Every structure is written in structure tokens, then in C-alpha cells.
Amino acid sequence: MALRLAAWLTIAITVGIVIALIIPSLEFFAQVSIRDFLFGTRWAPRFADASFGVIPLITATFWTTAIALITAVPLGLGSAVLLSEYAHPRLRQVLKPILEILAGVPTVVYGLFALAFVQGTVLRDWLHLPTGSFSVLAAGLVMGVMIVPTVASLSEDAMSAVPNSMRQGSAALGANRMQTSLRVVFPAALSGIVAAIVLGVSRAVGETMIVAIAAGGQARIVTGALEQGQTMTGFIANAALGDSRVGSIEYNTLFAVGLLLFTITLLINFISIRFVRRFREAY
Amino acid sequence: MSIATDLRLSRSLDTSARSGERSPKAMVFLVLLWVTMFIAMTVLLVLIVTTFIEGAPRLDLRLFTEYPSSTPARAGARPAILGSIWVICTTAVLAIPLGVAAAVQLEEFADKTKRINHLIELNVQNLAAIPSVVYGLLALAMLTLLRVQNKNLVIAGATALSLLILPVIIIATREALRSVPAEIREASLALGATPLQTMWKQTLPSAVPGIATGAILALSRAFGEAAPLLLLGGLVFVSYDPNGLLSGYTTLPIQIFNWTGRPQEEFRVLAAAASILLLVLLLAMNALAIYIRNHYQRRW
């Protein structure tokens, strides 16, 4: 039946992605050893003395993701506790859609905001920080705001799923609302909250346009938040702008980096799904 | 709303009589919670306001009627706007029927005890979280396999975006189908309808508002997406109106990306003006989705 075909298509997409990434990557690894790729510290695929060490891209991805998490986790969890434990239903009906608008802003607009306002106006003009036109800090901060709705909405679901009897039990023992939130609801919803954060990590690792616009285009090992740096996704976006002949090493490089990115996010996603399962079993 | 009234209105537990609710620690905690919400809201406000202030001077007719140009004063986004419309409409035609069909199969007909269906379900969840550039790489590899030289085609871009939003549509449709009560299906079956008739005449029509909401949100995501299209040669100088599935194109988000990367200040103003247009269109789509959800969703 046609319907079954449509369901199988989803499997075909996954298989397609894996094949599409692996075949050019195999050609790539025929020319560059896996060890040089994973542990090399110089990324210069288009230079005459080309070098394919992916560490610089990974450090930039690490910095932007870490900064995004430091921003998104407190903001997202705070908003979630407020919405789930404190807000009146009517207030919640107003606040939640506004928060969801944040998730609907296109990433190019976030990128422009990170580049022009956060980096140009706030970090340089107002705070006089020693930084250039681009920084992993500006990209990471804005990416953090982008993933706030993901973290907030999923962890709020987890907290709302905690049975009310647990809150009432806690209140009966004399706990106030803060103690109930922190010591009863939060631990009970922990696996769901962790899953929300992990999904946030995977979105931050895979986000492309914000870092392509605001993080910079030079692949160097990033050692500070004010430096510029090229992430894995940033490299793919930038390399796509150049003309890479099919089958050339530049073309295959795209897929090798894509495969690494896919593997990392796949691992993160499975961790997230595992956590959600455990949380579902709880009640 | 002030913190005090909010506390009194809070759900499920009467807090005013309970001791400790007003202790300094509890008050600081509540203030901190409000601060986190306030920061998130403020950033959204600042983003909208700064984009409007920067882009307003160039938000004029030229943006809609002119073609891209190296002279900022004469540059516009006409082909990008038309390109976005072409790509999104094609994406809708491809992704919505497929997504709804897959969801109906998984939710209504699949034997949930079978391992393979469990695997498909896990797979859909995972697909939804794969970075969008990876879908661009998939489409790029598909075109290479088909030996297509010029990859800048409306149909290619729409295919990449369809694959990207397919899992989103499947998840939303399944949720909409799940909220249709089992009694409706049982009543239909009891009256002698076949399972297929039940799905087609009862379950699916009841789920339409939920499906529409999910589909519009998914399309708005595709509308704002640029990364996969960059890989498919979407960043090109298009000085003509796209006019078919095999036409070259550029889209609004890519045009914004292009303008952001130029050194001249005027182009950044143009990028902001185009961003305003994109934001307004996307907010309108989101508002429509929320409206449908609130007004047509049946409560059972």
C-alpha cells in the first residue's frame, strides 16, 4: 500500500544520508589518513600544502556550543520552572507563544543580529572588548537564545508530567514552593530535563547560519571566547560557496566533515532519546 | 502582572497561608525565575527593534521590484522573494502528502508490537534532530548521482527542504491523529465502514486542524532555512524571475546571507530590510498556525 511506502521512505532517508556521507568520505580517507584527520591541528584544505586536521573546527564548535549552553540552560530552565510551577494558566497562555516565537526566528536573522548588534554594538562599542569583526562569543550567545525555547518547552513538559500528588505531599510536609520545585519536581523530572538540554546541544552543534555569519571564517584553534573561529558547520557552508568539482578532494572534504558532524549529533540524539524513555517509564 | 498577585493566582495550591512562601530565599528564587524569562523576552524585543531600526530606511518598493545589484541603491530582492515562493510551494506539494501518509500508516495501520515499526518510529525522532546542512549534503549527493551539472534548480532545493521537514510533519500529524478519540473510529467501524473508509472519512478530517497547524509551522521553518540551499548552489546572482521547477533560484534567507557578507554598510541595511520582510512573513505564518489551533481544533 502507498501508505506503507511513505513510512518506509523515512528509513530510506536515513540510509540515503549514511550512504551519501560515507561514499565520498571513503574516497577522502583514501587520500588522508583518519589519524591525520581526527588529530591533526592544522585545517587548510584549499592551500597548496593542504592539511586536513579537523581539530581547529572542533575547538570552534566546542566553544560556540559551550557558550550557547551556558546561556540557554539557565534561561530555559528558569523559564520552564516559572511556567510549570508558578504561572497562572492564563499567564502561561500568553508567555509560552511569545517564547515560541524565539524558535521561529530564522537563523540568518539571528546571524545578522549576532554580527551587527551583539558583536559590533554590544561587545565592541559598549563593552570595548578586544575583539575583531567576528567572535565565537557573539555567535554562541545568540545561538543560546535560539535554543532557549527548545530547552524551556521540553523541560516544562517534563515538569508538568510530574504528578500533582507529589507537590501536595511536599506542601503537606511544610515545604514552600521553591523547595518543592527544587527538591521534588526538579529531581522527578530530571531525565526529561537532561533530554531537553541534550537536544539543545545537538541543535547547537548542527546550527549553521549563525556561525557562518558571526563566528568568522578562519580555521584556527580557538583558545578564547573573543577569538574568531570556523566551526564544522561553518566550514561546510563556506566551502559550499566555492566551486568544488565533484570527486575532487575539496568536494570529498565536505562529506568527511559532514560525516563527523552527523556521527556526533547521532550520538547526542540517542543519548537524548534514552533519557526520555527512562523518564516516560517513571509514571 | 506583579509578583504578589501572581503568587496569589498560582495554580493548585493556596500559597498565601503557607509559612515560608515569603521567606527571603523563596522571594529571591522567584525574582530569579522572572529575570530568566525577562531576559529571553528582552532579547527577542531587542532583536526585532534593532532589525527594524536598521532596515527601515530601505524597506521600500525597490526591495520588491528591483533585482540584485552591486550598487546598493539599485539592489532589491525581487527574484529572491519569487524564488522563496516557488521553493516553498514545491516543498509543500512534496512534503505534506508524504508526511501525512507516513503518519497515517504509523499511527492508524502499523502493528505497534512489531520491531520494525518501533524502529521506524525511533528513526523519525532521530531524523527530526539531524542538522539541516546534512540534508543539504544528502541532496548534493543525490544530484551528483543523477549527474546533474547545474545544481541550482527549484526542484532540487525543494527536495532538500522536503526531506528536512518531513519528520516534523510526521510527528505533528501523528499527534493530531492520536488526539482523535478511539470512540469515533469504533463507531465508524461498528456501522460497517472499512478501516480505510474510517481513516479517510472520519479520523483524517477530524485531525485536519492539527495537521494544518503542524504543516504551516514546518513550512515556516523551511521558509527561513538557508543552510541546505547554500550547498545546492543557492547563493547565485539571479537577475531574472524564476519561472518553473527547473529554473535557477535564490531565496530570501540566502539573499540576506549574501548581503550580510558584503563589506559596504548599505548592504547590511538591505539585509536588515529583507530580514524585516522575512520576519513579518514568518510571524504571519506562525500566527495563522496558532489561530487555526485555537479556533478549529475540536475538543473531545
pLDDT tens per residue, range B65-75 = 888 888 888 88
Measured between alpha carbons, how far is A102 from A162 in angstroms, rounded to an integer? 26
Domain count, chain A: 1
Out of A14-18, A279-283, B216-220, B240-244, pick the least confident: A279-283
pLDDT of residue B19: 55
Residue A23 included in any domain: no
pLDDT of residue B17: 44
Please check whether residue A78 is in contact with residue B36, taking contact to mean a CB–CB distance below 8 angstroms.
yes
Residue A162 included in any domain: yes
pLDDT of residue B111: 83
pLDDT, average across residues B145-164: 91
pLDDT, average across residues A8-37: 93
Nearest CA in chain A to B267: A112
pLDDT, average across residues A57-68: 96
Query: What are the residues whose beta carbons fall under 8 Å from the beta carbon of A176, sequence distance 6 or more?
Result: B15, B18, B19, B20, B21, B23, B26
Q: Measured between CB atoms, which of A81, A208, A255 is closest to B132?
A: A208
Measured between alpha carbons, how far is A60 from A224 in angstroms, rounded to an integer? 10
The dihedral built from the CA positions of residue A203, A205, A209 and A210, taken in this order, carries a sign that is positive
pLDDT, average across residues A155-172: 91
Out of A273-277, B59-63, B111-115, B159-163, pick the least confident: A273-277
Interface confidence (ipTM) of the complex: 0.90
Measured between alpha carbons, how far is B251 from B78 in angstroms, rounded to an integer? 10
Q: Measured between CB atoms, which of A107, A181, A236 is closest to B224?
A: A107
Nearest CA in chain B to A271: B126
Residue A36 included in any domain: no
pLDDT of residue B22: 80
Domains of chain B: 3-58 (no CATH), 78-296 (1.10.3720.10)
Asked if A112 lies within 8 A of B275 by C-beta distance, the reply is: yes
Strands A43-44 and A51-52: antiparallel
Tabulate helix, strand, coil % of chain A (nearest 5): 75, 0, 20
Nearest CA in chain B to A9: B102
* Closest to A23 in 3D by CA, of B272, B144, B25, B69: B144
Residue A197 included in any domain: yes
Residue A230 included in any domain: yes
The 3-state DSSP class for residue B250 equals coil
CA distance A30 to chain B (A): 19
Residue A208 included in any domain: yes
Asked if residue B8 has pLDDT above 50, the reply is no
pLDDT of residue A180: 93
Predicted confidence band of residue B5 (pLDDT cuts 50, 70, 90): very low
The dihedral built from the CA positions of residue A236, A242, A245 and A250, taken in this order, carries a sign that is negative
pLDDT, average across residues A166-188: 92
Predicted confidence band of residue A279 (pLDDT cuts 50, 70, 90): low
Asked if B163 lies within 8 A of A13 by C-beta distance, the reply is: yes
Nearest CA in chain A to B45: A102
Asked if B224 lies within 8 A of A266 by C-beta distance, the reply is: no
Report chain B residues whose CB lies below 8 A from the CB of A17: 130, 134-135, 137-138
Q: Is B254 exposed, middle or buried (0-12, 13-18, 19+ CB in 10 A)?
A: buried
> pLDDT tens digit string along B111-125?
888 888 888 888 998
* Closest to B249 in 3D by CA, of B87, B93, B132: B87
pLDDT of residue A97: 82
Q: Which domain CATH number covers A125?
A: 1.10.3720.10
How many residues are present in chain A?
Answer: 283
Residue A265, domain extent: 58-248+261-282
* A52: β partners: A43
Measured between alpha carbons, how far is B178 from B147 in angstroms, rounded to an integer? 42
Asked if residue B40 has pLDDT above 70, the reply is yes
Asked if residue B18 has pLDDT above 60, the reply is no
Asked if B20 lies within 8 A of A176 by C-beta distance, the reply is: yes
The 3-state DSSP class for residue A88 equals coil
With a CB-CB cutoff of 8 Å, which residues 143-162 of chain A face chain B? Answer: 145, 148, 152
pLDDT of residue A100: 81
Residue A143 included in any domain: yes
The answer to whether A265 contacts chain B (CB < 8 Å) is: yes
Out of A59-63, A232-236, A237-241, pick the least confident: A237-241
Residue A26 included in any domain: no
Q: Measured between CB atoms, which of B26, B36, B129 is closest to A265?
A: B129
